[in-house]
């Protein structure tokens, strides 16, 4: 007759089975015969990042996460964000030599990493390492340290130096930031920050299924909304990749002493934060949305938003309010319509330049990166559906081509903005002087 073991005894055996053979709290590496429990951690070799268990304020829930050691409440990644350890301790180990696994004290698995079964061979010898960028990596020591899984592929609310935000064309895999539900709950919130890979790529801040804010398209130096990027190029190298393999954005710090992250907070605000060692605080270098004109399509189509102005919205040259009575009542959502139809010939139509602006929503734009700006102008003029054009790259004298064919939405006047949005109008509109009304338009 079999004797049934007490439940408490089974739990104790489970915990003992995962006790580490050797352990140092100053290591950055975990091997299969080791685990991490409450009070233990991995520390990156440069001492900047730490992996361990934490409890947000006002809760007894426990999570496995990574944080900056200079600011331990700055959590940059959470493993079990949607499945907290409730009133229990956690155990992290390498499960079956294939993946990471997080258990509660009863032995229930509450989180595990994905595993790439195709990469597991006879010489599979995994180990876990927290590197100097804050990336938690599961590697195969028996295959030239091949990466099996890494936390950088599964970000939460923070983009760190060395991380990519974007899409792999070959696999379809995307890296996306998502906000915490609240300041004390790291569960996935309602805001997402992700690359729009259609048209001319730009990064979009989503409020569930509604666009809240967009950066504007990449122009070779910065995103057209975020002109502030130019002011701290001495601190960071910005990395934008758009080729047959991927479209992605990331950054690298030019000094190892520069600690920074791009952060999506629980209120739906994107921030570039940089650590001030002297003041022991995070300084905000950029934020968005930051004014009324940052909120998507505030002025509707074919209009431009002027921040901090009594009249925030104005129709662009050659256009007039779609519904004048609503426009008069400061309801600009209906946008503007063309006053004089295009003639669709080179003799009848022309262009004027909107200066100092964030370029329109480029989701449905057409991009030809390998032609000249002059060729872009000719193509737009010949194409009756083309509404406006701009160079896709502003470095040097400018090159490439972006053409808008459906509508011009979410244009904003920006200090230091681009001077190269060419809007097509009937030539008679070019002779009208709107400078008194639209002092920022030429």
Q: Nearest Cα to 253, choosing from 142, 385, 322, 163?
A: 163
Element (H, E) at 86: strand 85-86
Question: Which one is the CATH code of 155-290: 3.40.50.300, 2.10.109.10, 2.90.10.10, 3.20.20.60?
Answer: 2.90.10.10
What is the per-residue pLDDT for 9?
Answer: 36
How does residue 115 score in pLDDT terms, banded at 50, 70 and 90? low
pLDDT at 95: 84
Q: What does DSSP say about strands 388-390 and 366-368: parallel, antiparallel, or unpaired?
A: unpaired
39 Rama sector, left if φ>0, alpha if ψ -120 to 50, beta otherwise: left
Would you say residue 196 has pLDDT above 90? yes
15 token code pair? 């915990």
Q: Report pLDDT digits (tens) over 65-104.
A: 999 999 999 999 999 999 999 988 899 999 877 789 999 9
State the pLDDT at residue 176. 97
28: pLDDT strictly greater than 70 = yes
Q: Please state, rounded to an integer, the average pLDDT across all residues of the chain.
A: 89
The length of the chain is 442
Tokens 């032609």 correspond to what residue? Answer: 371
Other Cβ atoms closer than 10 A to 218: 23
How many CB atoms sit inside 10 A of residue 234's CB? 8
Q: Measured at the alpha carbon of residue 312, what is the angle toward residues 309 and 313, in degrees to the nearest 5? A: 145
Give, for 294, the enclosing helix (H) or strand (E).
none
Read off the pLDDT band of 58 (50, 70, 90).
confident
Inform me whether the pLDDT recorded for 227 exceeds 70.
yes
**Helix (H) or strand (E) run with residue 326 in it:** helix 324-328
C-alpha gyration radius of the chain: 27
Q: N- to C-terminal Cα distance for the chain?
A: 94
User: Region 129-153: what's the mean pLDDT?
Assistant: 91
Q: Which residues pair with 93 in a beta bridge?
A: 35, 101
Token pair for 371: 């032609």
CB 216 within 8 A of CB 226: yes
- Backbone φ, ψ for residue 435 (5° rounding): -60, -35
- pTM for this prediction: 0.88
Helix (H, G, I), strand (E, B) or coil at 223: strand
Nearest to 67 by CA among 48, 40, 45: 48
Confidence of residue 11 (pLDDT cuts 50, 70, 90): very low
Residue 110: left (phi > 0), alpha (psi -120 to 50), or beta?
A: alpha
Residue 21 gets which letter from DSSP?
Answer: S
Closest CA to 156 of 129, 136, 142, 170: 136
Provide CATH code, domain 1-152: 2.90.10.10
Task: Count other C-beta atoms under 10 Å from residue 209's C-beta.
Answer: 7
**Cα–Cα distance, 396 to 393 (Å, whole number):** 9
- pLDDT digits 0-9 by tens, 336-356: 999 999 999 888 999 999 999
Give residue limits of the domains in the chain.
Answer: 1-152, 155-290, 304-431
Q: pLDDT per residue over 285-297, tens digit each? A: 999 999 999 999 9
């Amino acid at each position: 007759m079999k004797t049934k073991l007490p439940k408490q005894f089974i739990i104790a055996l489970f915990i003992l089975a995962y006790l580490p053979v050797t352990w140092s709290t100053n290591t950055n590496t975990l091997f299969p015969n080791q685990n991490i429990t409450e009070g233990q951690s991995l520390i990156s070799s440069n001492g900047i990042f730490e992996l361990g268990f934490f409890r947000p304020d006002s809760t007894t829930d426990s999570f496995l996460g990574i944080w900056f050691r200079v600011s331990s409440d700055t959590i940059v990644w959470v493993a079990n964000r949607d499945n907290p350890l409730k009133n229990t301790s956690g155990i992290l180990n390498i499960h079956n030599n294939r993946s990471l696994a997080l258990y509660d004290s009863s032995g229930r698995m509450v989180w595990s990493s994905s595993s790439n079964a195709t990469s597991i061979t006879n010489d599979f010898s995994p180990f876990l390492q927290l590197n100097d960028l804050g990336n938690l990596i599961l590697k195969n020591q028996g295959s030239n340290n091949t990466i099996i899984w890494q936390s950088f592929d599964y970000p939460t609310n923070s983009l760190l130096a060395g991380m990519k935000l974007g899409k792999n064309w070959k696999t379809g895999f995307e890296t996306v930031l998502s906000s915490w539900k609240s300041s004390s709950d790291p569960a996935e919130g309602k805001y997402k920050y992700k690359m729009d890979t259609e048209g001319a790529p730009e990064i979009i801040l989503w409020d569930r299924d509604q666009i809240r804010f967009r950066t504007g398209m990449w122009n070779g130096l910065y995103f057209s909304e975020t002109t502030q990027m130019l002011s701290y190029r001495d601190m960071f190298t910005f990395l934008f990749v758009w080729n047959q393999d991927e479209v992605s954005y990331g950054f690298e710090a030019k000094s190892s002493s520069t600690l920074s992250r791009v952060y999506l907070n629980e209120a739906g605000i994107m921030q570039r934060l940089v650590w001030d060692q002297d003041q022991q605080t995070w300084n905000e270098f950029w934020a968005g949305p930051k004014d009324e004109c940052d909120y998507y399509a505030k002025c509707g189509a074919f209009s431009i938003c002027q921040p901090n102005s009594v009249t925030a919205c104005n129709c662009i040259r050659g256009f007039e309010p779609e519904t004048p009575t609503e426009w008069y009542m400061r309801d600009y959502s209906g946008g503007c319509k063309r006053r004089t139809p295009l003639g669709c010939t080179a003799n009848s139509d022309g262009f004027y330049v909107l200066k100092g602006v964030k370029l329109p929503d480029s989701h449905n734009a057409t991009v030809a990166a390998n032609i000249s700006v002059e060729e872009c102008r000719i193509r737009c003029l010949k194409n009756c559906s083309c509404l406006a054009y701009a160079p896709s790259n502003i470095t040097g004298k400018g090159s490439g081509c972006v053409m808008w064919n459906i509508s011009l939405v979410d244009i904003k006047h920006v200090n230091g903005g681009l001077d190269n949005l060419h809007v097509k109008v009937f030539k008679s509109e070019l002779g009208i002087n709107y400078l008194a009304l639209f002092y920022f338009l030429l």
